[in-house]
Amino acid sequence: MTRARVLLLNAALGPLDYRVPHGMQVEPGSIVVAPLGPRQLVGVVWEPESFQEAETVGDNRLRNLLAVLDAPPIPAPLRRLIEWTADYYLAPPAAVLRMALASLSALEGARTVIEYRPTGDAPDRMTEQRTQALERIGGRQGLVRELALIGGVSDAVIRGLVKSGAFEPVEVSTDTPFPDPDPDFAPPALSEEQSAAAARFVAAVDAQTFEPFLLDGVTGSGKTEVYFEAIASAIRGGRQVLVLLPEIALTEPFLERFEKRFGTVPVSWHSGLRQSERRRAWRAISSGQAKVVVGARSALFLPYAALGLIVVDEAHETSFKQEDGVHYHARDVAVMRGLQEGCPVILASATPAIETRHQVEIGRYTEIKLPGRYGGAEMPEIVGLDLLSDPPERGRWIAPPLVKAIDEVLEKGEQALLFLNRRGYAPLTLCRHCGHRFQCPNCTAWMVEHRLTSRLACHHCGHVLPTPKVCPECREEDSLVACGPGVERIADEVAARWPTARTAIVTSDTLWSPAKAAEFVKSVEGGDIDIIVGTQLVTKGYHFPNLTLVGVIDADLGLEGGDLRASERTFQQIVQVSGRAGRGEKPGRVFLQTRMMEAGVIKALIAGDSERFYAAETESRRRANAPPFGRFAAIIISSEDSREAAETARLIGKSAPQIDGMSVYGPAPAPLSVLRGRHRHRLLVHATRQLDVQAAIREWLGNVVWKSGTRVAVDVDPYSF
Ligand code: ADP
Ligand code: ZN
């Protein structure tokens, strides 16, 4: 090849052609350095015929490529995935490529990673935790984090052991392979239902063809053990596996389970890795050496050499939807990646999205069901508590029947979980003297009081300020009052009612790192916690056999906004949190505090009838021509200048095309009309399934010119609006 088409890492540009100098070897996928004006940019060589719209220049005006990086080329399936993602989500291809090469700087990073290995010397002082850690770790070597995990202790304990000489650092080259998971290390005895499901997955993995699955089983049905068999089969076949998890807090329990089954932890990929760790992972992934990778959304765009299976666990989770930069849904991109790679994709969930169920109904996805809980554990009984007829006392939030149930649980030495999806102490803080409310200076949002840290915080942009002693408006002292409950306030009530109970508050404020999450799990498992008070973070993944009671403080919270997915989200959240109750031998009970006993979703929850919920919800979507039947796209126009944002939105709205099967609503101020200091307006596009809505929007926006400083982002299949 003497001429190469290169997609540079600069979102403003399309692909450009370069000359390949004599003696340089490139192929599609090669990562190269190319000149652009006075600058040098990294890019990837694409097929010469790709990107029809690429500008071409005559041979004599071509500039030379400067270098080829010492890294494996980006494989063809990943190049196709990048093209598809850019096309479908209306994003510049270079912006998608940037996600795939996010770790590229790591290639230039340090060539060694520091691991620790046991010296065999006894530490200066023995504690129970140290003994346990040393026993469990045995002769193993690893990163502090991995050793802590295997040892079942916090990072600090491992660091202490290093200091006291029981472990020594070893420099490991980033070319050192990761230990291989052993598919036959500790296979479980599967139930009959599990075996049948596993056999189906194993057959699909061995066939090495694309097949999307929905693994649909109630919470505690043993879905993980089932897809572990599919993973084992891929490993035996020498192929790689990607497991996507919705939340970094879930990584740790996953790694632990994986280690028990396969004898070693998988390679994890997340934002907390150091450059050198990234470099090592990247190389092992692109060479095919890393067999199993677990990660968040970003792991989808890594250059796997031989992907044989993708698993999306808790596939209904909204955190798979990326809301800034390239707006994409990792669940849907995962299915597309499976198609490109020619491998099966398993979406596992106890509460699949309506969209996913629909794919099953129209025959695109294969549904594998696990109807009962593993080991015959009963599904918890769900009881509705009508707050209108049986309200809590003034200034309290836990209604009398729930108080009584907690009394009983504590008496029996079991554990309870109180769920409220609101961080902080109170959602709204105001001055009782003048009525002043605290609003975020950057966003259209109220500041939320956090008593644990004595701060007011914006949950949208992260702006924080110390909770003031005097009202900034009227100067009255100690006049601030909290309105409504957050988890911290519920924890206060718990402390007042059950002063001897041991309580843990679980939110992203308290479980901000994998180590904190691991500590939390240990303390609940070890029986050091009686009552957990938490947000959605506690609804997923955890398995606490002694937890027998769940109280939902406000089941109506998610229904208030009234957006398209309000019922679905409420249903999923409550089923998931209910699923934490009674997972062991003792049966579980769930109390739903509600003012809407008659709402369809609440009735279905109390009846334990998910089919009824899905049928009703699907029907109402069909009538509204909402997803999965019709489709939406949002066009968000933002600028720091409020007039400019409004003006551009009006301009774009005015030039909306008239197309059969497509309606355009707005512009109107976006739900958060000011976010991080940018004023936001929105147009909403509603179209039929048959219409190529991307093509329509591409042409439409291509014809409008707006001022620089104004950003126009398209959100195809927006999650909420
Ligand atoms: P799900 O992911 O469907 O909620 P899990 O896979 O977490 O369910 O399984 C629930 C519990 O049952 C876990 O503690 C798991 O270890 C246990 N379990 C599931 N299947 C088996 C099995 N075949 N043998 C032993 N334990 C199992
Ligand atoms: Zn803010």
- DSSP per residue over 351-398, as a string? S--HHHHHHHHTTSSEEEEE-S-GGGPPPPEEEEEETTTSPPPTT--S
In the structure encoding, which two tokens stand for residue 313, read together? 């666990």
Q: What ranges in 540-609 are assigned the alpha helix state H?
A: 566-578, 600-607
Contact 191, 344 (CB under 8 A): no
Q: What ranges in 263-294 are assigned the alpha helix state H?
A: 275-287
* pLDDT of the residue at 12: 74
* pLDDT of the residue at 452: 87
With 60 as the cut, is the pLDDT of residue 1 above it? no
Given the structure tokens 């029981």, which residue do they identify? 166
How large is the average pLDDT for residues 412-438? 92
What is the DSSP code (8-state) at residue 320?
Answer: G
CA–CA distance, 681 with 550 (Å, rounded to integer): 40
What are the residues whose beta carbons fall under 8 Å from the beta carbon of 488, sequence distance 6 or more? Answer: 424, 425, 450, 451, 452, 505
Average of per-residue pLDDT values in the chain = 90
CA–CA distance, 310 with 205 (Å, rounded to integer): 10
Atom of ligand 1 nearest to the CA of 375: 12
Share of the chain above pLDDT 70, in %: 97
240-244 β-sheet, strand order: 267-269, 292-295, 240-244, 307-313, 344-349, 211-217, 366-370
* pLDDT of the residue at 361: 94
pLDDT tier, 518 (very low <50, low <70, confident <90, very high otherwise)? confident
State pTM to two decimals: 0.89
Cα(445) to centroid of ligand 2, in Å? 6
The CA angle 250-252-253, to the nearest 5 degrees, is 75
With 60 as the cut, is the pLDDT of residue 106 above it? no
Cα(397) to centroid of ligand 1, in Å? 34
Contact 310, 242 (CB under 8 A): yes
Q: How far apart are the first and last CA of the chain?
A: 48
With 60 as the cut, is the pLDDT of residue 272 above it? yes
Letter string b/e over residues 86-105, b meaning 16 or more CB atoms within 10 A of that residue's CB: bebbbbbbbbbbbbbbebbe
415-419 β-sheet, strand order: 381-386, 589-594, 547-552, 415-419, 531-534, 503-506
CA–CA distance, 311 with 275 (Å, rounded to integer): 26
Q: Which ligand is nearest to the CA of 544?
A: 1
* pLDDT of the residue at 653: 94
- Name which residue sits closest to atom 15 of ligand 1, judged by CA: 222
* pLDDT of the residue at 514: 67
Radius of gyration of the chain measured on its C-alpha atoms: 27
With 70 as the cut, is the pLDDT of residue 54 above it? no
With 80 as the cut, is the pLDDT of residue 440 above it? yes
- DSSP per residue over 340-360, as a string? HHT-EEEEEESS--HHHHHHH
pLDDT tier, 502 (very low <50, low <70, confident <90, very high otherwise)? very high
With 70 as the cut, is the pLDDT of residue 468 above it? yes
Q: Burial, 25: exposed, middle or buried (Cβ in 10 Å; 0-12, 13-18, 19+)?
A: exposed
* pLDDT of the residue at 107: 59
Given the structure tokens 């988890």, which residue do they identify? 487
Pick from 390-399, 401-410, 482-491, 698-707: least confident: 698-707
Element (H, E) at 688: strand 678-688
CA–CA distance, 10 with 159 (Å, rounded to integer): 42
* pLDDT of the residue at 114: 82
Nearest to 56 by CA among 92, 19, 93, 17: 17
Among 78-92, 433-447, 500-514, name the most confident range.
78-92
* pLDDT of the residue at 562: 59
With 80 as the cut, is the pLDDT of residue 720 above it? no
With 90 as the cut, is the pLDDT of residue 51 above it? no
Element (H, E) at 112: strand 112-118
Contact 680, 625 (CB under 8 A): no
With 80 as the cut, is the pLDDT of residue 150 above it? no
Strand blocks (E) in 528-661: 531-534, 547-552, 589-594, 630-639
Nearest to 421 by CA among 485, 352, 350: 485
How large is the average pLDDT for residues 582-594? 90
Element (H, E) at 447: none
Atom of ligand 1 nearest to the CA of 189: 23
Look at 319 and 720; give whichever has higher pLDDT: 319
- Name which residue sits closest to atom 10 of ligand 1, judged by CA: 220
Give residue ranges with CB within 6 A of ligand 1: 188-191, 194, 217, 219-225, 374, 543
- Residues making up the annotated binding site are 431, 434, 440, 443, 458, 461, 471, 474
pLDDT tens digits, one per residue of 544-574: 889 999 999 999 988 876 578 889 999 999 9
* pLDDT of the residue at 144: 82
Cα(375) to centroid of ligand 1, in Å? 8
- Count the neighbouring beta carbons within 10 Å of the beta carbon of residue 717: 19
Q: Burial, 415: exposed, middle or buried (Cβ in 10 Å; 0-12, 13-18, 19+)?
A: buried
pLDDT tier, 136 (very low <50, low <70, confident <90, very high otherwise)? confident
Cα(718) to centroid of ligand 1, in Å? 34
β-sheet bridge partners, residue 633 = 685, 716
Cα(414) to centroid of ligand 2, in Å? 40
Given the structure tokens 């009234």, which residue do they identify? 562
Nearest to 241 by CA among 249, 254, 252: 254
* pLDDT of the residue at 539: 80
Share of the chain above pLDDT 90, in %: 59
- Count the neighbouring beta carbons within 10 Å of the beta carbon of residue 64: 12
Pick from 104-113, 420-429, 553-562: least confident: 104-113
| Cβ < 5 A residues, ion ligand 2 | 440, 442-443, 458, 460-461, 463
Nearest to 581 by CA among 545, 626, 553, 627: 545
Amino acid, res. 398: I
β-sheet bridge partners, residue 637 = 681, 712
Q: Strand 589-594 relative to strand 16-19: parallel, antiparallel, unpaired?
A: unpaired
* pLDDT of the residue at 148: 81
* pLDDT of the residue at 325: 84
* pLDDT of the residue at 108: 61
With 90 as the cut, is the pLDDT of residue 153 above it? no
Q: Could you give the 3-state DSSP secondary structure of residue 155?
A: helix
With 80 as the cut, is the pLDDT of residue 368 above it? yes
- Residues making up the annotated binding site for Zn(2+) are 431, 434, 440, 443, 458, 461, 471, 474
- Count the neighbouring beta carbons within 10 Å of the beta carbon of residue 528: 10
- Name which residue sits closest to atom 6 of ligand 1, judged by CA: 222
